[in-house]
């Protein structure tokens, strides 16, 4: 009994040391940030003390302003991403499975994928205005490409042997897509979503910064314009949390769906 | 017995233009229902191509392949393939891999369960039903591959170097399991290998193919007394004699390849 | 059957027909269903592109953009490789930086543009910083991954032949990681252009992004479209040129 207790305590201690080693640099930085801010070594406008930023973050959160803007941003990014995911997977999988579809989409993907999609923001402002719809369409158009390209590649790379296996066991060509092709391509399709997700946020933030209409991007840029630097930092903290949160969710979903890999 | 495969005037050409390769040329051969035939030949001579043509995955350029007199038309559940790289569905458990063919056939759930369990037991995998392929060793994966193919009860088993990636003791034990299953179930078996000993040990006849483009070189009748243990068979003079014959014939082909 | 070269040309033409259809539909729609204001015809945009180059108007902005993207990407390669390899070869370096990387990894880097404005103001420095930050992670991750997985047999082989501990780094580790570093850079190039245009839309008085935004704002739509085509072409060529260079450099892979 004693031995095991000792061993587990020893383990805990070494884990604690490992943990300390991995975060000490962040702790030093945060402390330094606070001290430098408090002593006024760097002008408040550039770097408010960490505590001020956290207070501002709390204020914005409690007043509901932060949550509302986060909601606006997330709604735009995620609806756009959802549309792109559906269309991208359909186009990607079909063009991997069908020569005519591929003939049509291949040159369009070749030309469309490399376009720095952000440069189309002014076009979307012209076409669809600066409202939610415009932002959602922009996100959908921008994130379509990585989803489609990854879906296409992973569908193409489905092993012939798997398809043959299913055929010999009696799977008809029509059912092949659902029974074999989609499950086999799923890892690559999910990779496409994982690439598209941050892109959806990038597009939303930049659009909000350029065109306003609320959202975390607008909150940030408004902070810059009104010399409220604590608000800029607070918005970035929120963005970081959202980024980490979405990333975790996607990883979790991936782990769940791909527990067999 | 059912399960006779007749191959006549078979030719397979891959690609066109500069990339045109003739893999198989004018092959005529027949495997009787219930017979165990191995195919050996130099690497690249078209053994896999032949097997996949019989499976119906590939279309012949010339000639026909018939099963019990009916020309084949694409893959069908009368034939089952065991692949060298197993080709299990990685997203399905052992049990789900074995029941796949039964699901496609519309077999009711409890019946599926019975059949699957029978074949899972037959290849000694009881207790592993809920594992995913990634959790299995190579030998276990191939046993799933065999069980999966047996489960939907094809008349003809087509095997493309199924034990090629496994080590010697494992190969031997799987060979014996395969022979047991074959004599119990009475299926036609076409078995590709590059291992002469394996071919002689398993089969009633060995088809030796010429080097590229492949066709029939000779057929060796392996008239062995198989009543004894593995050790008795393998150490017998007859076995050595048949092995020698096949080896010599095969060696002539690989020789010509090297000197060219 | 057609002779091979002719067949090749025919194939290429057939391959690009869909794009021709798209351009044709665009040409027909413009001025028909959709006003030319909102969607200038391809011919108009084409003429505008030529005009921009002939008048030389585009060059100053294009050079500014290229400078920003080049410096930002260059810095990120330099820092990214050092950091990635350093973290793989030394635990203290890894312990120090790992937490920052995992905390900044999920932040879309363009969200940092306003912060960059606070620190560096509007202009080139901000654009370079954003390009640098956006490109850094893919390069660090790839370099780090490669350096951690350098085949131990290579290291042992070198040691056996008398390479000392310090030379191992630049004789074995760096060369062995180059292919994956290239992969990281390949991922970073398109990101660099997205970061560049983002920064220029929000925080610049020059550059292609700025030009696109302002020509849109003053209603000069052909110029807006023309500049989008130009920056897209530049991004496309950059990726292709990099892939070409990588192919030549990595003949041994
Ligand atoms: N999909 C294919 N496309 C073109 N050539 C092929 C293809 N598959 C096989 N071949 C060629 O056909 C010949 C026979 O191949 P294969 O049947 O795999 O031989 P084996 O299984 O006896 O080693 C080889 O020369 C091989 O290069
Ligand atoms: Mg083969």
> Whose C-alpha lies nearest to ligand 1, atom 14?
B46
Tell me which residue of B125, B255, B122 sits closest to B183, measured CA to CA: B122
Give the A:C interface size as CB pairs under 8 Å: 149
The answer to whether B42 and B257 have CB atoms below 8 angstroms apart is yes
For B122-160, the pLDDT digits (tens) are 898 999 999 999 999 999 999 999 999 999 999 999 999
B211 lines ligand 1 (CB under 6 A): no
Instruction: Name the E strands within B94-173.
Output: 156-160
Tokens of C3: 């002779």
Indicate which ligand has the atom closest to the C-alpha of B44.
1
B 140-179 near A (Cβ less than 8 A): 148-149, 152, 154
Class of domain A57-257: mainly alpha
Residue with the two structure tokens 């021709």: C20
Q: Is C165 within the bounds of a domain?
A: yes
Residue B161: the pLDDT is 93
Domain count, chain C: 1
- Select the highest-mean-pLDDT range: A9-13, A160-164, C248-252: A160-164
Q: Which residues in chain A are closer than 8 Å to B104, comparing Cβ atoms?
A: 166, 169-171
- The Cα–Cα gap between B129 and B207 comes to 37
Q: Give the number of the atom of ligand 1 that is nearest the alpha carbon of residue B47.
A: 22
Tokens of B65: 């392949």
- B34 CA to middle of ligand 1, Å? 28
B45 lines ligand 1 (CB under 6 A): yes
Q: Is C29 within the bounds of a domain?
A: no
B40 lines ligand 1 (CB under 6 A): no
B46 lines ligand 1 (CB under 6 A): yes
Tokens of B121: 């037991």
Q: Is C59 within the bounds of a domain?
A: yes
Instruction: Name the E strands within A61-172.
Output: none
- The Cα–Cα gap between C164 and C151 comes to 17
- Please list the alpha-helical segments (H only) found in B136-225: 138-151, 168-185, 196-202
Tokens of A149: 């390209």
B14 lines ligand 1 (CB under 6 A): yes
Percent residues over pLDDT 70 in chain A: 96
For A37-83, the pLDDT digits (tens) are 888 888 888 899 999 999 999 999 999 999 999 999 999 999 999 99
Q: Which residues in chain A are closer than 8 Å to C113, comparing Cβ atoms?
A: 206, 209
pTM: 0.89
- Average of per-residue pLDDT across C56-82: 95
Tens of each residue's pLDDT in chain B, 260 residues: 689 999 999 999 998 888 899 999 999 999 999 999 999 998 889 999 999 999 999 999 999 999 999 999 999 999 999 999 999 999 999 999 999 999 999 999 999 999 999 999 989 899 999 999 999 999 999 999 999 999 999 999 999 999 988 888 889 999 999 999 998 998 999 999 989 999 999 999 999 999 888 888 889 899 888 888 888 999 999 999 999 999 998 888 877 655 44
CATH number at residue C167: 1.10.3720.10
Which domain range does residue C168 map to?
42-249
Residue with the two structure tokens 């290849």: B123
Q: Give the number of the atom of ligand 1 that is nearest the alpha carbon of residue B42.
A: 22
Q: Which residues in chain B are closer than 8 Å to A169, comparing Cβ atoms?
A: 77, 80, 100-101, 104, 148, 152
> Whose C-alpha lies nearest to ligand 1, atom 16?
B46
**Contact between B18 and C4 using a beta-carbon 8 Å cutoff:** yes
Choice from B21, B84, B158 to test ligand 1 binding pocket (greatest atom count within 8 A of CB):
B21
Q: Which residues in chain C are closer than 8 Å to A223, comparing Cβ atoms?
A: 114
**Domain map of chain A by residue range?**
3-42, 57-257
- B8 CA to middle of ligand 2, Å? 21
For A174-200, the pLDDT digits (tens) are 999 999 999 999 999 999 999 999 999
> Whose C-alpha lies nearest to ligand 1, atom 21?
B48
């Amino acid at each position: 009994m004693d031995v095991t207790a000792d061993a587990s305590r020893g383990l805990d201690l070494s884990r604690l040391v490992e943990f300390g080693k991995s975060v000490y640099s962040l702790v030093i930085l945060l402390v330094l940030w606070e001290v430098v801010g408090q002593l006024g070594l760097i002008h408040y406008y550039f770097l408010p003390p960490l505590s001020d930023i956290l207070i501002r973050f709390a204020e914005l959160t409690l007043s509901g302003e932060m949550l509302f803007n986060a909601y606006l941003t997330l709604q735009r990014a995620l609806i756009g991403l959802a549309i792109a995911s559906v269309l991208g997977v359909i186009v990607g999988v079909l063009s991997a499975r069908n020569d005519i579809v591929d003939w049509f989409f291949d040159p369009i993907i070749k030309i469309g994928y490399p376009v720095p999609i952000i440069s189309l923001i002014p076009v979307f402002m012209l076409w669809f205005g600066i409202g939610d719809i415009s932002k959602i369409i922009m996100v959908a158009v921008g994130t379509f490409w990585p989803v489609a390209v990854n879906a296409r590649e992973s569908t193409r790379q489905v092993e012939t042997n798997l398809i043959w296996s299913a055929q010999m066991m009696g799977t008809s060509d029509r059912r092949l897509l659902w029974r074999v092709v989609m499950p086999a391509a799923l890892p690559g399709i999910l990779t496409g979503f994982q690439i598209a997700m941050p892109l959806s946020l990038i597009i939303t933030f930049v659009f909000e910064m350029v065109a306003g209409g609320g959202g975390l991007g607008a909150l940030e840029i408004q902070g810059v314009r009104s010399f409220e630097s604590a608000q800029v930092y607070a918005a970035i903290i929120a963005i970081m949390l959202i980024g980490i949160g979405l990333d975790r969710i996607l990883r979790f979903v991936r782990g769940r769906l791909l527990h067999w890999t | 017995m059912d399960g006779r495969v007749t191959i006549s005037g078979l030719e397979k050409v891959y690609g066109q233009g500069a990339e045109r390769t003739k893999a198989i040329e004018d092959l005529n051969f027949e495997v009787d229902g219930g017979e165990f035939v191995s195919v050996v030949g130099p690497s690249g001579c078209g053994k896999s191509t032949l097997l996949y043509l019989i499976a119906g995955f590939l279309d012949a350029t010339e000639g026909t392949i018939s099963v019990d007199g009916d020309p084949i038309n694409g893959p069908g559940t009368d034939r089952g393939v065991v692949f060298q790289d197993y080709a299990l569905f990685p997203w399905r458990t052992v049990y789900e891999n074995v029941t796949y063919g039964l699901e496609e056939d519309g077999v009711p759930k409890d019946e599926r369960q019975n059949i699957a369990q029978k074949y899972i037991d037959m290849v000694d995998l009881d207790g592993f039903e809920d594992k995913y392929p990634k959790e299995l060793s190579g030998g276990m994966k191939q046993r799933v591959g065999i069980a999966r193919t047996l489960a939907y009860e094809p008349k003809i088993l087509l095997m493309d170097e199924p034990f090629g990636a496994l080590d010697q003791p494992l190969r031997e034990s799987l060979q014996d399991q395969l022979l047991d299953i074959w004599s119990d179930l009475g299926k036609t078996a076409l078995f590709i290998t590059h291992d002469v000993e394996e071919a002689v040990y398993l089969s009633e006849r060995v088809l030796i193919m010429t080097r590229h483009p492949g066709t029939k070189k000779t057929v060796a009748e392996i008239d062995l007394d198989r009543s004894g243990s593995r050790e008795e068979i393998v150490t017998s003079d007859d076995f050595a004699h048949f092995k020698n014959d096949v080896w010599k014939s095969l060696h002539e082909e690989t020789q010509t390849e090297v000197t060219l | 059957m057609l002779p091979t070269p002719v067949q090749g040309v025919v194939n290429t033409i057939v391959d690009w027909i869909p794009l021709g259809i798209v351009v044709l539909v665009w040409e027909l729609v413009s001025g028909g269903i959709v006003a030319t204001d909102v969607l200038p015809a391809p011919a108009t945009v084409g003429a505008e592109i030529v005009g921009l180059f002939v008048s030389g108007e585009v060059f100053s902005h294009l050079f500014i953009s290229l400078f920003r993207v080049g410096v930002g990407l260059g810095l990120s390669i330099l820092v990214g490789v050092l950091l990635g390899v350093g973290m793989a070869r030394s635990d203290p370096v890894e312990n120090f930086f790992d937490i920052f990387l995992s905390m900044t990894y999920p932040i879309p880097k363009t969200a940092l543009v306003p912060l960059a404005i606070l620190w560096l103001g509007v202009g080139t420095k901000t654009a370079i910083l954003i390009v640098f930050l956006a490109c850094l992670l893919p390069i660090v991750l790839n370099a780090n991954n490669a350096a951690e997985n350098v085949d131990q047999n290579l290291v042992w082989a070198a040691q056996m032949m008398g390479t000392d501990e310090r030379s191992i780094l630049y004789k074995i580790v760096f060369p062995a990681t180059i292919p994956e570093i290239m992969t990281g850079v390949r991922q970073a190039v398109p990101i660099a252009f997205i970061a560049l245009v983002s920064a220029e839309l929000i925080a610049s008085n020059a550059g292609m992004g700025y030009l696109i935004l302002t020509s849109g704002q003053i209603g000069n739509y052909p110029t807006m479209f023309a500049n989008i085509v130009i920056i897209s072409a530049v991004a496309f060529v950059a990726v292709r040129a990099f892939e070409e260079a990588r192919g030549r450099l990595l003949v041994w892979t």
